[in-house]
Amino acid sequence: MSLSESSSAAVKSPRVLPNPSWGDRLAGWPWRRIVSAVIGISLALGLLILGGWYFTLGFGLLVYLGLGEYFELVRAKGIAPASKTVLIACLAIVVSSAMMPSVADAIVPVAGTLVCFYLLFMPKMASIADLSASVMGLFYCGYLPSYWVRLRVGAGLVLDDGAIAQLPLNGFWPTSWNPSVWPEALVVTVLAFCCIWAADIGAYVMGKWVGKTLLSDISPKKTVEGSLAGTIGSATVATLGAAYLHWPLWFVTGPALGLLVGVASLLGDLIESLMKRDAGVKDSGNLIPGHGGILDRADSYIFTAPLVYYFITMVLPLIDRWVG
């Protein structure tokens, strides 16, 4: 066979890609990541259902661990934050959010002022970066996520009759697994968490299968296709929940909450990726096998917390009065 004939044959014979077996495909799945996610979701659901001090103290532990990871990222940039002062303030915000949210609101400016005064009189002159990172830690790891405690414990949650809910801090022990008999604060918190889980799972699975278009240089693994799938998944879950809970204009308020959660959780993920990229690290920690640190898993919850809280406590009551 001549050279031209062999070249023609090579062109005409397509290269057959190997067809992996189901066993090979399953072996390629990140099982350690999946098992860690299942365990984490189970623990989160347990604390969610119990509520009260169980949820508050468990959440406080997450804030403690997440703040430690945040300060490690900050120190990697040569910044010296007021870590102990911020830690005490963040834990105080979490605890007071379960009892008197107005106190939590007051702690933030007072603690921010004390942090600035503390850094002002340090032996080594503080920088703008030291001040900014300290106040950011107070806001990012303490104040914003504390809204989950407000929502779950029910402090400040407006009920259908206009009353202010305050669930018992000794916890809620369900006598039935029917969500219709659960406290409203528990139901809406579980719904919000399910929206975030749907967004994370949808973005991860669809990003792996069909994701091709890079979303942002900040996170090379994020794709437009995966992000859209995650947002749609969040909106779908929220719509189903709104219909089940008989929200006013559920076909509008449900998708609105889902889109809000989907977009905010995505942006929270990108913010954390931005901080890691700036600090020059892949993960914020190594506490969770297959996932990294607490911030790597909690980044989707940070910016969504106040948005969900005010949607439930302000937007829904306004729409209900307008419709009624």
**Intra-chain end-to-end CA distance of the chain, in Å:** 86
Type of residue found at 278: D
Which pTM value belongs to this model?
0.84
- State the alpha helices, DSSP H only, in 160-249: 184-209, 224-245
14 is a domain residue: no
Q: pLDDT exceeding 70 applies to what percent of the chain?
A: 83
The boundaries of the domain holding residue 211 are: 174-281+293-324
Residue 14: what pLDDT? 44
Domain count, the chain: 2
Type of residue found at 34: I
Judgement on whether residues 99 and 243 belong to the same structural domain of the protein: no
Judgement on whether residues 126 and 200 belong to the same structural domain of the protein: no
The answer to whether 302 and 312 have CB atoms below 8 angstroms apart is no
The answer to whether 272 and 297 have CB atoms below 8 angstroms apart is no
CA 44/CA 221 separation, integer angstroms: 26
54 is a domain residue: yes
12 is a domain residue: no
Place 158 in a pLDDT band, splitting at 50, 70 and 90: low
- The answer on pLDDT for 11 being more than 80 is no
Residue 172: what pLDDT? 74
Residue 163 DSSP one-character state: P
| Sequence-separated (6 or more) residues with CB below 8 Å from residue 258 | 195, 231, 234, 235, 236, 237, 238, 239
Q: Where are the beta strands (DSSP E) in 61-199?
A: 157-158, 164-165
The last residue of a domain, from among 166, 196, 216: 166
Judgement on whether residues 247 and 107 belong to the same structural domain of the protein: no
Identify the sign of the CA torsion 52, 53, 54, 57.
positive
Lowest mean per-residue pLDDT among 20-34, 85-99, 114-128, 254-268: 20-34
- State the alpha helices, DSSP H only, in the chain: 3-12, 22-27, 31-50, 52-75, 83-99, 101-120, 128-138, 146-153, 184-209, 224-245, 250-279, 294-302, 304-310, 316-323
Residue 8: what pLDDT? 46
Phi and psi dihedrals of 169, rounded to 5? -75, -10
Residue range 39-93, pLDDT digits in tens: 877 888 888 888 888 999 999 999 999 999 999 999 999 999 999 999 999 999 9
Judgement on whether residues 183 and 258 belong to the same structural domain of the protein: yes
Residue range 280-313, pLDDT digits in tens: 988 887 766 656 789 988 999 999 999 999 999 8
25 is a domain residue: no
Residue 42: what pLDDT? 85
Judgement on whether residues 321 and 179 belong to the same structural domain of the protein: yes
Phi and psi dihedrals of 214, rounded to 5? -65, 130
The last residue of a domain, from among 166, 182, 207: 166
The answer to whether 140 and 70 have CB atoms below 8 angstroms apart is yes
Q: How far is CA 205 from the centre of its chain?
A: 18
288 is a domain residue: no
